[in-house]
Amino acid sequence: MNIVVLVKQVPDSGADRNLRTDDNTVDRGSANNVINEMDEYAIEEALKIKEAHGGEVTVLTMGPDRATESIRKALSMGPDKAVHVVDDALHGSCAVATSKVLAAALGQLNADLVLCGSESTDGRVQVMPHMIAERLGMAALTGARKLTVDGSTLTVERQTEEGYEVVTATTPAVVSVWDTINEPRYPSFKGIMAAKKKPVQTLSLGDLGVAPAEVGFEGATSAVLEHTKRPPRSGGAKITDEGDGGVKLVEFLATEKFV
């Protein structure tokens, strides 16, 4: 099975994150940039499928030059190769344009299965799997907590608010995963060394047949007008329990009219 995993480099969600003051895009320059955590689960799932059914795993990333670090990190887990879509004109692209670029790249890769995380920790927009599926006329099975592959049949179990659903489709399809699906492996030393030699193909917009005017700020379908830091919360009263902590807590709730 030819599997492509979408990997996004994001600013570390454990550190302070900002939007740039000059153009309102995510500040990636000063951030500690890492693989979007949910994507590691997608990589793991791809590797497990390859181990069970054979095939090839390709990492696909759209991002600036520095995304190479995340691509190597992803490869160190075990994928065979990577494709990096990199072009200065992409800076400022909206989700709609991003899906156009990724769909164009996927069109060249002939994937049977496109795996990705359910959302990225920076945007948390959750739209990419369905946008790509819509463009490519494929099924999208989103939010998988379990994925079973039987020949060309994919079956996914997905959490819903009322319980869970079992959803099925045949390949080619896009499947997005939650962090409940598996436990991603840590790259081994051997894996890290091997990753340095794995092929990483770079593709420009020209290679994909996408015009620069369709992406970036020029092609964006939405715009950030302004942004402000939300004032940080400040802690209020903190008491140490002296046998009446529960009562004191409820007294506070009563003054706030919750009780």
According to the binding rule CB under 8 A, does residue 150 interact with other proteins? no
Restricting to residues 190-209, which ones interact with other proteins according to CB under 8 A? none
Q: Which residue of 52, 193, 211, 249 would you call a contact of other proteins, by CB under 8 A?
A: 249
Restricting to residues 68-87, which ones interact with other proteins according to CB under 8 A? none
- Residue whose pair of structure tokens reads 């069109």 in the numeric block: 107
Count CB atoms within 10 A of the CB of residue 238: 5
- By beta-carbon proximity to other proteins, the closer residue of 209 and 247 is 247
User: Minimum distance between the CB of residue 8 and other proteins, rounded to whole angstroms?
Assistant: 15
**Cα–Cα distance measured from residue 131 to residue 96, given in angstroms and rounded to the nearest whole number:** 7
Q: Per DSSP, what are the bridge partners of residue 3?
A: 57, 113
Q: Which residue of 20, 64, 92, 139 would you call a contact of other proteins, by CB under 8 A?
A: 139
User: Minimum distance between the CB of residue 18 and other proteins, rounded to whole angstroms?
Assistant: 7
**Cα–Cα distance measured from residue 125 to residue 127, given in angstroms and rounded to the nearest whole number:** 6
- Residue whose pair of structure tokens reads 């153009």 in the numeric block: 23
- By beta-carbon proximity to other proteins, the closer residue of 56 and 179 is 179
Bridge-based pairing state of the strands 33-35 and 153-159: unpaired
- By beta-carbon proximity to other proteins, the closer residue of 63 and 129 is 129
Structure tokens at 236: 């209020």
- By beta-carbon proximity to other proteins, the closer residue of 79 and 143 is 143
Output DSSP code: residue 38. Answer: H
